[in-house]
Amino acid sequence: MILLFLKHDWTLPKTDTTAVFGGLLSGLFAGFFGVGGAVRGAFLTAFNLPKEVYIFTSGIIALFIDITRVARYVAGGTQLDGELLTALLLSIPVSFFGAYLAKRFLDRLPQRYFRIFVGLFLALVGLKLLIWA
């Protein structure tokens, strides 16, 4: 039974509809729950992109979504005071350092294992959301 599950092709079709639907769901989940990246990652895997293109595409989409979200929060009057503002300012260089470390790791990860790696972490994110959400 498990072998049948593992042998089944669970990939999404590589179509414009998949891209549009993935973008819509990613934006919706980012706006409602703050977890659009996991949805975006699942839809991007449908296109079987080279790992560099996958990471770049995901990063650019996240950048635009986050800039839009932060701009909307600021325009709506949201303010960060004290510790929250400090945490935000510290998280920016730390995230760049994390991206640097991830690039070094991905440079060593063969392309044939990349989708498995992404799928594994998407499963872990899903499990985390089910258990600790």
What is the per-residue pLDDT for 4? 47
For residue 103, what is the enclosing H or E element?
A: helix 82-108
Give me the tens of pLDDT residue by residue for the chain, a chain 133 residues long.
454 444 555 667 788 888 888 888 888 888 788 778 888 888 888 888 999 999 999 889 888 888 888 888 889 998 888 898 899 889 999 999 998 999 999 999 999 899 889 989 888 988 988 898 6
What is the per-residue pLDDT for 97? 95
What is the per-residue pLDDT for 1? 46
Contact 68, 30 (CB under 8 A): no
User: Domains of the chain: which residue ranges?
Assistant: 11-80+111-132
What is the per-residue pLDDT for 94? 96
In sequence order, the 6+-apart residues with CB closer than 8 A to the CB of 65 are: 26, 27, 30, 36
Burial code (b: 16+ CB inside 10 Å, e: under 16) for 47-68 equals: bebebeebbeebeebeeebeee
